[in-house]
């Protein structure tokens, strides 16, 4: 099959689920082109190993980024835009029509996104990662710039935060005209159906991990008594890291020998630094920044408990079952998650992990205390977690399922089992 992946920025380090799918399709002999319609990602000097191994940059078409310092762009006075118009004048004129496309057409934003497609592209499958990208894919297909079956996957912020910002009817046309839809959990599948998606045209395809890269190790109470706890994720409100920090403050006096490592970076780093200082837990809580996957695995391998305290953000943003939880469970760590989004689909409370309410640092502290006081359950909980991940989130199984879904879409047979 010939497949186009439409993404936002590329390659984004935290979006390993997209890289895993691309690699899986290439391994299975399919042809994949990648279109980064928001341009290249800024990862500094860090490059995901999959990008290097599969030479993905060579497969990627980057839409040019509109200049920010020109208020008077027109096809007549800007040489680059004039060159773009010469390639497909009729479509280019449509893409700058603000009356038709609204704010998206202002300052030639739509036009710039469309540049890689202006000569027309044909594929078996057009796979749009995130609903907002699906809107772009549908527009380009309707304008004749793309041909192929349009498959869109909803992953989280696109079917939570995006709806709050743009309205609950924002996907009406996409849901009516798109060929097939995926979500990464049942929580978001139900939401898509509520928005109007045909329930026969949407299935769950979880975000997979390569379980072979995460060796299972039974966890035992450390001989030196130093229990190492970890959280990994972007430093944004949705990840609920504030409540992990507050939980450590509650535990500090009783368990002065604990260590809490927060792996990741983001807009709230300064806020968390201040909070750590205010709560006087700098000797326990460490913000260790972004880590490559190999570095992350090393930290988790030396940890005993993982906390994933996700919350519904003020802007409505919500999580599916997060990959960092899956990775920790695959490695045998007892985990604590929240009753949030799709996380309860991953963690079976009391079996493969523990669940607490959102925004409840005291509840997190109580569960951490319980695990510290009952290390005899760590191994069984870790084994149950590994089994759960292997059963539902093994990357190779899910990539096989993705190929089956594509084949069903191409044959218009949508009876794909969840």
Residue 343 pLDDT greater than 80, yes or no: yes
Q: Say if 32 falls within a structural domain.
A: yes
Q: What is the pLDDT of residue 127?
A: 98
**139 and 188: one domain?**
yes
Q: What is the pLDDT of residues 128-171, one digit of tens each?
A: 999 999 999 999 999 999 999 999 999 999 999 999 999 999 99
Q: Give pLDDT, residue 197.
A: 97
Supply the range of the domain harboring residue 229.
211-392
* CB-based contact 251:221 (threshold 8 Å): no
Closest listed residue to residue 178, CA positions, set 129, 141, 143, 124:
141
DSSP state, residue 78: -
Give SS3 for 359.
coil
DSSP 273-318: HHHHHHTT-TTTEEEEE---HHHHHHHHHT-SEEEE-----TT---
Q: 179 with 233, same domain?
A: no
Report the alpha-carbon distance of residue 61 to residue 116 in Å, rounded. 6
The answer as to whether 79 is a domain residue is no
For 182-234, the pLDDT digits (tens) are 999 999 999 999 999 999 999 999 999 999 989 999 999 999 999 999 999 99
The pLDDT mean for the chain works out to 93
Asked if residues 179 and 125 have their Cβ atoms less than 8 Å apart, the reply is no
Tell whether the model's pLDDT for residue 66 goes beyond 90. no
- Say whether both 183 and 321 belong to one domain: no
Structure-token match 């089992």, residue found: 417
Task: Give the count of alpha carbons within 13 A of 315, CB side only.
Answer: 14
Residue 107: C-alpha distances to residues 40, 73, 97 (Å):
20, 7, 11
pTM: 0.89
Task: Supply the DSSP symbol for 54.
Answer: T
Give yes or no for a contact between 38 and 8, defined as CB atoms under 8 angstroms apart: yes
Q: Indicate whether 110 belongs to any domain.
A: no
Q: How far are the Cα atoms of 48, 63, 257, 300, 338 from residue 303, in angstroms, in the given order?
A: 23, 41, 13, 5, 20
Mean of the pLDDT values across residues 25-41? Answer: 96
Whole-number pLDDT of residue 368: 98
The domain that holds 325 is classified in CATH as 3.40.50.2000
Per residue in 279-336, pLDDT (tens digit) is 999 999 999 998 877 889 999 999 999 999 999 999 999 989 988 999 999 999 999 9
- On whether the CB atoms of residues 264 and 233 are closer than 8 A, the answer is yes
CA–CA dist 416, 418 (Å, integer): 7
State whether 237 and 379 are in the same domain: yes
- Residue with tokens 């992946």, as numbered in its chain: 5
* Residue 159 and residue 215 in one domain: no
User: Quick one: 144 and 264 in the same domain?
Assistant: no
pLDDT of 73 reads: 56
Count of structural domains within the chain: 2
Distance CA 297, CA 89 (A): 51
Q: Using CA of residue 130, residue 267, residue 363, residue 365, what is the dihedral sign?
A: positive
386 and 282 in a single domain? The answer is yes
Report the interhelical angle of 323-330 vs 378-392 (nearest 10°): 120
Domain co-membership, 259 together with 204? no
Residues 179, 319 within the same domain: no
Calpha distance 266→337 (Å, rounded): 21
Provide the token pair at 249: 């403050």
Q: Which of 372, 373, 369, 367 is nearest to 353 (CA)?
A: 367
Query: pLDDT digits over 360-414, tens only?
Result: 999 999 999 999 999 999 999 999 999 999 999 999 999 999 999 999 999 986 5
**pLDDT band at residue 82 using 50, 70 and 90 as cut-offs:** confident
Query: How many residues can be counted in the chain?
Result: 418
pLDDT of 418 higher than 80? no
């Amino acid at each position: 099959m010939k497949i186009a992946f439409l993404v936002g920025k590329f390659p984004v380090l935290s979006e390993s689920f997209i890289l895993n799918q691309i690699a899986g399709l290439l391994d299975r002999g399919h042809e994949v082109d990648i279109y980064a319609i928001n341009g290249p990602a800024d990862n500094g000097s860090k490059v995901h190993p999959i990008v290097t191994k599969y030479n993905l940059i060579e497969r990627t078409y980057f839409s040019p980024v509109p200049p920010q310092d020109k208020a008077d762009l027109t096809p007549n006075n800007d040489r680059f835009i004039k060159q773009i118009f010469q390639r497909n004048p009729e479509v280019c004129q449509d893409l700058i029509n603000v009356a038709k496309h609204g704010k998206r057409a202002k300052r030639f934003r739509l036009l710039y996104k469309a540049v890689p497609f202006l000569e027309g592209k044909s594929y078996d499958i057009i796979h749009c990662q995130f609903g907002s990208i699906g809107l772009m894919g549908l527009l380009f297909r309707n304008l004749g710039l793309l041909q192929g079956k349009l498959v869109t996957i909803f992953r989280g912020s696109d079917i939570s935060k995006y709806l709050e910002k743009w309205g609950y009817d924002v996907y009406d046309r996409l849901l009516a005209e798109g060929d097939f839809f995926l979500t990464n959990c049942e929580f978001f599948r139900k939401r898509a159906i509520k928005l109007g998606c045909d329930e026969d045209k949407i299935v769950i395809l979880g975000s997979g991990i390569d379980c072979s890269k995460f060796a299972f190790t039974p966890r035992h109470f450390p001989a030196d008594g130093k229990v190492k706890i970890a959280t990994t994720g972007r430093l944004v409100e949705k990840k609920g890291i504030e409540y992990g920090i507050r939980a450590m403050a509650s535990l500090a006096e009783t368990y002065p020998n604990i260590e809490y490592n927060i792996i990741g970076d983001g807009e709230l780093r300064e806020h968390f630094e201040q909070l750590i200082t205010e709560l006087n837990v700098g000797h326990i809580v460490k913000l260790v920044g972004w880590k490559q996957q190999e570095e992350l695995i090393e930290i988790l391998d030396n940890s005993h408990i993982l906390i994933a305290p996700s919350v519904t953000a003020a802007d409505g943003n919500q999580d599916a079952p997060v990959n960092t939880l899956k990775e920790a469970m695959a490695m045998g760590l007892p985990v604590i998650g929240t009753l949030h989004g799709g996380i309860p689909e991953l963690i079976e409370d009391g079996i493969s992990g523990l669940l607490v309410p959102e925004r409840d640092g005291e509840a997190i502290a109580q569960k951490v205390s319980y695990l510290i006081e009952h290390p005899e359950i760590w191994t069984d909980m870790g084994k149950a977690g590994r089994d759960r991940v292997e059963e539902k989130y093994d990357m190779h199984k899910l990539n096989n399922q993705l190929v089956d879904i594509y084949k069903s879409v191409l044959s218009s047979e949508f009876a794909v089992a969840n």
